[in-house]
Amino acid sequence: MPTKCYAQVRGSVIRATRLDGCGNPDPGASAVVVSKRISTVTINEVTEDGTNIRERNFGDELCVVDDSFTQILGYNADVALCGVDPDLISLFTGQPVVLNAAGDVVGFDATTNVNLDSFGFALEVWSRIAGTACDASGNRPWGYTVFPFLKGGRLGGFSFENGAVQFTISGAQTRDGNGWGVGPFDVDRDESNAPAPLNTALDPNVHFRNILVTLDPPAAACGAVALASA
């Protein structure tokens, strides 16, 4: 089969899904948020340098050289929010939401007693594809990136000023041992053009996958919805 090359531009929508502490989708209410309230998603590689061994002889010549490779540990994700969705902030950071007298979610608390190791989240990002027409079935192509297991999201600093208050999520890092598999959602199309999950399951140590898909992203909405049990 031919290789399809593509250029991803602009973010379109994200979906965040609550995971348990072992990296498995965590069914229940307030488990999934689909949002456009995002300014940027920034991904940085996390590495650890090894130890190079170099010895010189008495003529100041290198006689032993054994250089190590830099090891990739994972990736950090920093998310700048455009507006406030309390459910999304809670899903990223574990901070509790706040209800009004009618039971509506109207905000969130910032506490210091969140156990960041007790939960995680998956992050899916859809982006547009530059200069690519729809396929023969009229399906528009999209760039799709999934980070199946992140932990450690923290609510960053912010300021009140003559402008928008921008909350940020920082410190979330991808982890080994995800339980995403093909995912709990349809994200692409199968050979019969029907909506389908990932064609191949994610290995437990995959930190992210970036692919071209032809299923439109989900519609964004304020607040969280339930994730049904498998």
Which residue is it, tokens 């090359």?
5
List, in order, residues 6 or more apart from 134 with CB less than 8 Å away.
140, 141
Write the Ramachandran bin of 39: left for phi over 0, alpha for psi from -120 to 50, otherwise beta. alpha
129-150 per-position pLDDT tens digit: 998 888 888 999 999 999 999 9
Q: 88 phi and psi, to 5 degrees?
A: -65, -45
Q: Which whole number is the average pLDDT over 6-11?
A: 92
Instruction: Please give the C-alpha separations between residue 88 and each of 24, 77, 156, in angstroms, as whole numbers.
Output: 18, 15, 14
d(CA 148, CA 206): 8
First-to-last CA distance in the chain? 33
**Structure tokens, 193:** 């053009």
**Structure tokens, 36:** 């456009």
Nearest to 223 by CA among 106, 96, 94: 106
Nearest to 169 by CA among 152, 187, 184: 152
Query: Among 56-70, 166-180, 204-218, which stretch is predicted with the lowest mean pLDDT?
Result: 56-70
Percent of the chain whose pLDDT exceeds 90: 77
> Residue 230: its pLDDT value, please?
57
Angle at 18 between CA 45 and CA 33, to 5 degrees: 95
Angle at 38 between CA 36 and CA 39, to 5 degrees: 130
> Residue 161: its pLDDT value, please?
86
Nearest to 150 by CA among 186, 176, 111, 130: 176
List, in order, residues 6 or more apart from 45 with CB less than 8 Å away.
72, 75, 76
